[in-house]
């Protein structure tokens, strides 16, 4: 499988390596059975192309983009992506319905499959902008934002939230938020199964310290069977994912996928019924990703922008440490080209897919 590197709004590469574009890759509809979380500074366009080599079907999300940045900034730089990334959702942050409406229109022009509204980020910077998890305290405003984006875009608008904030930690509070937003037309909620503590904890601590409460998410699904509920938080294996899918409609993994990306290699087989013959080995994954890297290098993208996302591919494999070290010590150099990556691969021993 060869990947087309051409980004939306860019001219396609003339390289013959991109003559075999797989057409179905551009037409798969969103399916939330298995999702990779939006992660700031991590799930950029280079990472998403790499993840798409590993899984055809996993739902991918952009980093959070604020509506203000789109309305007042460089929208092409923020929204461009490779066609091979479909199905892909853009995650927006904001609390001004009119501004979010404008941002939603822009995402349609770029061809996204879904718009996701961030109501889960607990950082001080996000709170200062009056968006993220603090908006769980104002479900009516969130509903207005959802309605505004739906009216402008026609795309599915989903919401990523927590199960509560601060002392608002109850099934009743959580369900009231969900029912209010659902009334505005949101039918899919991605729920991080922890409350957010908005004062005194860093974003990292908010991912670890508040206890997980999966049962609250399960009960939400039981009460609102017509809604699609995706569970997030603390899921670190495909076995965990399978267990959650007995209770909810989908799972979302974040840092575990980033740090151990080969986890995705069997997702299509495990969750989407794709034959095992489609599973790629680690070396096959790299061979599929190399044409994209070369094309981006030709377009002026530094090698490190791509290699920083693949450091975990050979985690636990003989030579994996040398692979990571070689890239870390050489990919940042201005002169770094595709040979740096090829030399790094020489340190690694090919292993079977089961390993």
Q: Which is catalytic among the residues 35, 121, 145, 161? A: 121
Distance CA 119, CA 91 (A): 10
Residue 229 Cα distances to 2, 92, 160, 189, angstroms: 34, 19, 10, 5
Q: Which residues contact 100 (CB under 8 A, 6 or more apart)?
A: 67, 92, 94, 117, 145, 148, 149
Helical pair 320-330 and 338-345, crossing angle rounded to 10 deg: 160
How many CB atoms lie under 10 A from the CB of residue 26?
14
How far, in whole angstroms, is CA 180 from its chain's centroid? 26
Helical pair 45-54 and 282-298, crossing angle rounded to 10 deg: 150
Distance CA 205, CA 215 (A): 21
Distance CA 245, CA 237 (A): 13
How many CB atoms lie under 10 A from the CB of residue 127?
17
The residues pairing with 328 across neighbouring beta strands, listed in sequence order, are none
Distance CA 42, CA 51 (A): 12
Laid out side by side, the sheet with 188-192 consists of: 34-36, 250-253, 228-232, 188-192, 157-162, 114-119, 88-93, 60-66
Instruction: Give alpha helix (H) positions in 183-213.
Output: 203-206
In the annotation, is 121 catalytic?
yes
Provide DSSP, 71-115.
HHS-HHHHH---GGG-SEEEEEE---HHHHHHHHHHHHHHT-SEE
* Residue positions annotated with a catalytic role: 121
């Amino acid at each position: 499988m060869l990947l087309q590197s051409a980004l939306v709004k860019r001219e396609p590469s003339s390289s013959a390596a991109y003559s075999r574009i797989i057409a179905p890759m551009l037409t798969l509809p969103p399916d939330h059975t298995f999702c990779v979380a939006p992660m700031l500074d991590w799930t950029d366009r280079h990472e998403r192309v790499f993840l798409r080599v590993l899984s055809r079907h996993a739902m991918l999300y952009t980093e959070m983009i604020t509506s203000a940045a789109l309305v007042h900034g460089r929208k092409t730089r923020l929204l461009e992506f490779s066609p091979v990334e479909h199905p892909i959702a853009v995650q927006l942050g904001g609390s001004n319905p009119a501004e979010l409406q404008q941002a939603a229109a822009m995402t349609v022009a770029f061809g996204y499959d879904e718009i996701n509204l961030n109501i889960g980020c607990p950082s001080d910077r996000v709170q200062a902008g009056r968006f993220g998890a603090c908006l769980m305290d104002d479900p009516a405003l969130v509903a207005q934002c959802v309605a505004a984006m739906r009216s402008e875009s026609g795309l599915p608008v989903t919401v990523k939230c927590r199960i509560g904030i601060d002392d608002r930690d109850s099934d009743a509070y959580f369900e009231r938020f969900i029912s209010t937003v659902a009334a505005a037309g949101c039918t899919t909620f991605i729920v991080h199964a922890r409350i957010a503590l908005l004062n005194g904890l860093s974003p990292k601590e908010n991912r670890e310290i508040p206890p997980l409460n999966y049962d609250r998410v399960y009960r939400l699904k039981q009460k609102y069977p017509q809604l699609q509920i995706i569970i997030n938080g603390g899921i670190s294996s495909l076995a965990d994912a399978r267990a959650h899918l007995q209770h909810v409609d989908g799972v979302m993994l974040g840092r575990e996928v980033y740090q151990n990306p080969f986890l995705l290699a069997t997702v299509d087989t495990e969750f989407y019924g794709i034959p095992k013959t489609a599973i790629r080995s680690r070396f096959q994954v790299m061979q599929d990703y190399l044409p994209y890297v070369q094309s981006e290098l030709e377009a002026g993208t530094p090698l490190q922008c791509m290699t920083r996302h693949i450091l975990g591919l050979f985690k636990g494999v003989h030579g994996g440490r040398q692979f990571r070290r070689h890239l870390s010590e050489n990919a940042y150099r201005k002169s770094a080209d595709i040979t740096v990556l090829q030399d790094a691969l020489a340190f690694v021993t090919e292993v079977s897919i089961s390993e």
